[in-house]
Structure 1
Amino acid sequence: MKHRRNPWGASALSLALSTSVLAAPTTSPDKPATTESTSSGTVTMRGQAIAYTAVAGTLVVHPNSYDDSTDIVRKRVGEPDPTKPEDKTLEPTASMFYTAYFKKGADPATRPITFVYNGGPGSASVWLHMGSFGPRRIETLDDSHTPAAPYRFINNDDTLLDASDVVFIDAPGTGFGRIAGKDAEKAFWGVDADGHAFANFITQFLGKFGRYNSPKYLFGESYGTMRSAVVVNDLQNDDSIDFNGVILLSQILSYGNSVDGANDDPGNDRPYVLALPTYAATAAYHHMLPTQPADLQAFLREVEHFASTDYLLALQQGADLSAADRQHVVQKLHDYTGLPVDYIDRADLRITGGEFEHELQARTGIATGRLDTRFSGPQIDPMSKEVGYDPQSSAISSAYVSAFNDYVRKTLHYGDDAIYRPFGRLKADSWQAPHTLPDDGNQSQVPNVMPDLALAMKTNPLLHVMLNAGYFDLATPYYEGIYEMKHLPIPAALQKNIEFKQYQSGHMVYVSEASLKQLHDNVAAFIRETDHQG
């Protein structure tokens, strides 16, 4: 997820990469096209050497309106239909860039495969690729600005290749992928259009690499969790491809739960309730509380209880809240957030994410991070209402993007004379937010894909879901994800298919090395428990 104001110990290098290039185009074309480059490597994971094949390339996908039974299919990309001289437009197409890692010697029939992507919307998957489960990862500082190049790129002791093959996918118009044709933005940039593109990509990939019979998983981060709900429902109920599991990192399934700009939706008090535990965790981390808690988890359980009882009730009463009850809530919010009593009172007990980030450390001229509230940076404008940038994004983005641009060319042998785009060129009105609900065909103007995930779980009652979240994530607060999961419209018996894991990290949980190890172990265990091979 991009920032709201800008459309979301060193281990020795033991990676032997390689060596032979089996097929290597030196470029990714500006027009959508299918390309491929294959190489080999070995990663040392917890003392175990894992040899793998890496494939970097693009697949071409089409919008949902595409009909391959018509003469459109006879067109070559970039050329008009010769049988229709009057046709001067090109049907919209998109190439989606991916990097796939396959463990050598593994049987594709039983080897799990996990499709991994970031969110945005409109983000490439460089962040997960370079930070989480690939064979190499970038080393950054845990909660402060990483110095400029040269960056340290190391063997990934927490690669997921011990448990699953991994495919990192970039959204249309990002990475080395391109979109083209009339109204291409409308065809690929939107909740439903994006979901279709990813489902189209995955079905092609399964056929191209012979993986239809493999245990299959989706792993999405941030907006990628919203995408996962749409994609798994589309694949299962439109394409008859059941999945073993959906792994969600830093979840948001309903934008109505977002504390970003929550004051633009008066009467909806839910975001303030769901963000409060993250405010409390952040204030504790920065030692801004009147009384510092000895046990963070126990403290957060206390805050969660207050948020869902006294605080929720007070907000629901609105103008009927008594002066005594209001003062009680103001004091508790001060105790749990460290914000000044008069500020909380003037804010009418309702503080948005941006306001909290600006105000928590404002007395010292410091801004608090959003994606990871452990990060801080100088206030750009101390007199503004909100912070104008995200300290974590500024602290690590250069390291991730620089490392990948070096790696993809020198190791994967792809894209020498092409530009890698970490973000799509989305304009303010490019993204089509309305979402067609899967059960009745009605549209939700504020995206809510809880019905999609619920339908996927009901039509495949063996589908398992795993929610991972960081305590210090204010883009998608961890308690928001818990709330959404416990309010899915599914039978109570299916709740046992959902598991929850929290980490002492932020939105990008894997930025913390200790949290990355926990994330790997939890995800690997989830895959092994659900791949139906036990």
Structure 2
Amino acid sequence: MRNIKRSTRSLAIVLCLIWQPFVQAEDAKASAPAPEPEAKMQVTQHKATINGKSIKYSVHAGDTHLKDKKGKLTASIFSIAYIREDVDKRSQRPLLFVFNGGPGSSSVWMHMGLFGPKRVVLPSDATNVGAPPFPVENNPQSLLDVADMVFIDPVGTGYSIPLGEKKGKDFWGVNEDAASLAEFIRVFITKNKRWNSPKYLSGESYGTTRAAALVKSLQEGWGSIDLNGVMLISSILDFQTGDFTDGNDLPFVTFLPTYAATAWYHNAIDKSQYKNLQEFVEEVRQFALNDYASVLLKGALASEQEVSAVVNKLHQYTGLNENYIRQSNIRINEFAFMKELLRDRGEVVGRLDSRYIGEDANKVSSRFEADPASYAIDGAYTAALQDYMANELDVLREERYNVLSGEVFSNWNWLYGDSPRSQGFVSMTPNLARAMRQNKDFRVFIANGYFDLATPFFATEYSMNHFGINKDKVTLTYYEAGHMMYIHQPSLDQLTKDIRAFITPKK
């Protein structure tokens, strides 16, 4: 029995000696860092006629890997860059970094709607586009004749993802987002030898907030990346102007001219005494700044005569029922307006573009079931980009391309500096004012849609009239369309002329 036990013990020792190297090898594999994912980049060559000129250009569609100070991977940023090839002095050629907003949106909208050499063409009259196939055409108004362009998808959008030990939430915030995109820009201009090129940022919607945050991240401090300017499409810079929260009366003032413009468009008011929309909107501006703002500020101190006068004017400018206005305490938020304006017709108006109308199943609810301006165009832009990338840019990936991520939006960290949005309002205009003081060549271009109920033009005007902004360095333009004014062909025609003039050096 003792010999059997001794033999068994000896066998166990032998087996341990045999298997130990294999176990150690497996442990080493488990503890070894994961291999770095490949940074894919597809480069294709193209020709196009843009702004009446025949040009040659290359498209660089793929990943840029970001690393921390220790050289560890942190993120893979997907971008599509357009580089004109038939140029002599590339260092003098403007470079545009373009992104959309959300937060949580890819750059598909500005890419396939405004700046890129290909464009999905939608009806200018704000009708629903239906199902595919959607018309994708050459864009002769692309800015590629005068500038190289880089369309950026932040982490969590497009094909951009966190890497290594990082998680999505490490990038989803005002500060975090600006830091990662600033690093992307630094890496891009380094790899492509573009440090001395004129540089512009172009953002839409929350992308304008991002652009203003990036101005601070890029320009301030030693080793700065100075900018020639920013182009803000449908801007939201100071969230107090746009957030309907208890105790904040400012949005009721800043949204009113857009309410009025929307009522004008849908013939919900008497327009006979005005020459045009611009004259009407200017009258509403003055009322909003003076009589309306005064009564809101006075609160219970306002006399019944003052309140009645305001109710009458609000009815005249918006077409809403006087009793409804009074019962709303002369304070109507955007979603109530969108549902109420055409309620007697059984229709609701869009938020991103109030020219669009939709029909809800529940006609008596307090807000629409979905934004008619969103579901009218989303499928077209999504299909157009996917088809274009696969068939013309050789980008064919099975991973989901995140056009707009609710996960990013719902997990966004609004803390910026010492001002968490939950306890205050993010304010970005001071960044632009400081940039103007510190950089004599820094300029701002802002495009506004009269029918934009997401980022109203009067809120932007408020921002540009405060915080020490040098108005001589600001170009404000207006279009009879909505948030994505480039959907409207006449607005696109004018917008591209305005932007081209902004970035083209004066001779």
Structure 1 partner of 2:69? 67
Structure 2's unaligned 5+ residue stretches are: 1-34
Q: Greater CA deviation, 356-365 or 53-62?
A: 53-62
Distance 2:166 2:325 in 1: 46
Structure 2 partner of 1:87? none
- The amino acid of 2:103's aligned partner reads P
User: Could you tell me which of 269, 286, 297 is aligned with 2:249?
Assistant: 269
User: Could you tell me which of 131, 134, 139 is aligned with 1:156?
Assistant: 139
Distance 2:324 2:422 in 1: 38
User: Could you tell me which of 446, 458, 474 is aligned with 1:498?
Assistant: 474
Q: CA deviation at 1:429?
A: 4.6
Structure 1 partner of 2:77? 96
Task: Classify the secondary structure of the residue corresponding to 1:109.
Answer: helix
Distance 2:505 2:348 in 1: 42
Distance 2:139 2:410 in 1: 39
User: Could you tell me which of 305, 314, 325 is aligned with 1:324?
Assistant: 305
Question: In the alignment, does 2:468 pair up with 1:489?
Answer: yes
Distance 2:353 2:36 in 1: 36
Identical amino acids, percent of aligned pairs: 39
Q: CA deviation at 1:499?
A: 1.3
Distance 2:444 2:423 in 1: 24
User: Could you tell me which of 217, 222, 228 is aligned with 1:234?
Assistant: 217
- Taking a change above 3 Å as real, the CA distance of residues 429 and 504 of structure 1, as seen in their structure-2 partners, is closer
Alpha carbons 1:256, 1:271 under 8 Å: kept:
yes
Task: Classify the secondary structure of the residue corresponding to 2:365.
Answer: coil
Structure 1 partner of 2:452? 473
Distance 2:408 2:206 in 1: 17
- The amino acid of 1:501's aligned partner reads T
Q: CA deviation at 1:33?
A: 5.0
Structure 1 partner of 2:264? 284
Task: Classify the secondary structure of the residue corresponding to 1:34.
Answer: coil
User: Could you tell me which of 89, 108, 112 is aligned with 2:94?
Assistant: 112
Q: CA deviation at 1:380?
A: 3.6
Distance 1:500 1:529 in 2: 18
- Taking a change above 3 Å as real, the CA distance of residues 144 and 255 of structure 1, as seen in their structure-2 partners, is same
Structure 2 partner of 1:188? 171
Question: In the alignment, does 2:115 pair up with 1:133?
Answer: yes
Alpha carbons 1:34, 1:59 under 8 Å: kept:
yes
Distance 1:324 1:486 in 2: 31
Structure 1 partner of 2:12? none
Distance 2:159 2:321 in 1: 48
Measured on the aligned residues, the alpha-carbon RMSD in Å equals 2.1
Task: Classify the secondary structure of the residue corresponding to 1:250.
Answer: strand
1:425-440 alignment runs, 5 A limit: 426=407, 429-436=410-417
- The amino acid of 2:450's aligned partner reads Y
Distance 1:58 1:183 in 2: 17
Distance 1:53 1:317 in 2: 60
Task: Classify the secondary structure of the residue corresponding to 2:454.
Answer: coil
After superposition, the C-alpha distances for 1:340-386 in whole angstroms (9 at most, x for unaligned) are 11111111111000010000001111010000000000024222211
Q: CA deviation at 1:476?
A: 0.1
- The amino acid of 2:101's aligned partner reads G
Structure 1's unaligned 5+ residue stretches are: 1-29, 78-92
Aligned pairs, how many?
469
- The amino acid of 2:236's aligned partner reads I
Alpha carbons 1:120, 1:222 under 8 Å: kept:
yes
Q: What TM-score does the superposition give when structure 2 sets the normalisation length?
A: 0.89
Q: CA deviation at 1:182?
A: 4.6
- The amino acid of 2:288's aligned partner reads A
Alpha carbons 1:369, 1:376 under 8 Å: kept:
yes
Structure 2 partner of 1:508? 484
Distance 2:395 2:409 in 1: 31
Higher Cα Rg, which structure: 2
Structure 2 partner of 1:39? 44
Task: Classify the secondary structure of the residue corresponding to 1:426.
Answer: helix
Distance 2:361 2:175 in 1: 37
1:252-267 alignment runs, 5 A limit: 252-259=236-243, 262=244, 264-266=245-247
Question: In the alignment, does 2:417 pair up with 1:458?
Answer: no
Q: CA deviation at 1:147?
A: 2.1
Question: In the alignment, does 2:190 pair up with 1:207?
Answer: yes
Q: CA deviation at 1:183?
A: 5.7
1:217-366 alignment runs, 5 A limit: 217-238=200-221, 239-259=223-243, 262=244, 264-266=245-247, 268-292=248-272, 293-366=274-347
After superposition, the C-alpha distances for 1:138-170 in whole angstroms (9 at most, x for unaligned) are 011220100210111101021011221111111
Q: Greater CA deviation, 212-221 or 181-190?
A: 181-190
